Amino acid sequence: MRLAKLFVCSAVIVLSTSLPTFSQTSSTAAKPNTNTHPATHSTATYDHTLLKPALLKETAPATYQVKFDTTRGEFTVTVHRDWAPNGADRFYNLVKHHYYDGARVYRVIPGFVAQFGINPHPPVNTAWAKATIKDDPVTQKNVRGTLTFAKTAMPNSRTTEIFINFKDNTGLDSQGFAPFATVDGQGMNIVEMFYDQYPDPAAAGEQPKMESGGEAYIAKTFPKLDTIKSATIVGGASPTTTKPAASTSKPKP
């Protein structure tokens, strides 16, 4: 069952880093955020092909770029299919059919990861609950700025959940977490502004409710979470955008 699977997935990632707490410490200043309503674009409709995951099997290009337009700004990522072919293909098909449009960045743990992948529409979440892909060999390290599919301790358990590493989380490498892309240029300046003041939803048991309730539940319960307005394939890789993002000071919104 996907609801249990994703909860376990988050717990596995948290335990692997020995984080002392699931919630934001009181010493961290809150980030201003005016995103107190659902996404600014309509999420009333969606590509109904998403209800049939078995049809979304297109092979991705060797490299391609995806632009994320979020409530914090825009950034791009470059995908390398040779890093993790199954992950790169799954991401390509999801983005091509606008799976991530309107999705909240629902799990943001400072100094660890920002995670997304719950669709705003409950029927879509149900359709992808068991649409797993085979594991990829881990050929790259989970360094700052890399994108990786979340998974459970069980083999071949990846579906739609993705996290962006805030720092070098190389302890995840030995656990089978295979990076497939990296944030380009200064894009981590945007990623690091995602709202992070809510408790970890994995620890709070909120992920199943987010999946079954979709955007209606998230907007009511966690209105300040940032939103991916759209994720769009924009082209191939540039020679200057293939390295993981360097560490920078955390910017203000």
Q: What is the CATH number of the domain that holds 131?
A: 2.40.100.10
In this structure, are residues 223 and 37 in contact, taking their beta carbons and an 8 Å threshold? yes
Is the CB of residue 225 less than 8 Å from the CB of residue 195?
Answer: yes
Q: How far apart are the C-alpha atoms of 69 and 50, rounded to whole Å?
A: 20
142 compared with 1, residue with greater pLDDT: 142
> What gap in Å lies between CA 159 and CA 2, rounded to an integer?
9
Check: CB of residue 235 under 8 Å from CB of residue 70. no
Q: Is residue 86 part of a domain?
A: yes
Q: How confident is the model at residue 43 (pLDDT cuts 50, 70, 90)?
A: low
Distance separating alpha carbons of residues 217 and 226, to the nearest angstrom: 14
Average pLDDT (46-67) is 97
- The verdict on residue 253 lying in a domain is no
**pLDDT category of residue 245 using cuts at 50, 70 and 90:** low
What does the longest C-alpha to C-alpha distance in the chain come to?
48
What confidence tier does 19 reach under pLDDT thresholds 50, 70, 90? very low
Q: Is residue 108 part of a domain?
A: yes
Helix (H, G, I), strand (E, B) or coil at 171: helix
pLDDT class of 91 with cuts at 50, 70, 90? very high
Domain tally, the chain: 1
Name the DSSP class of 134.
P
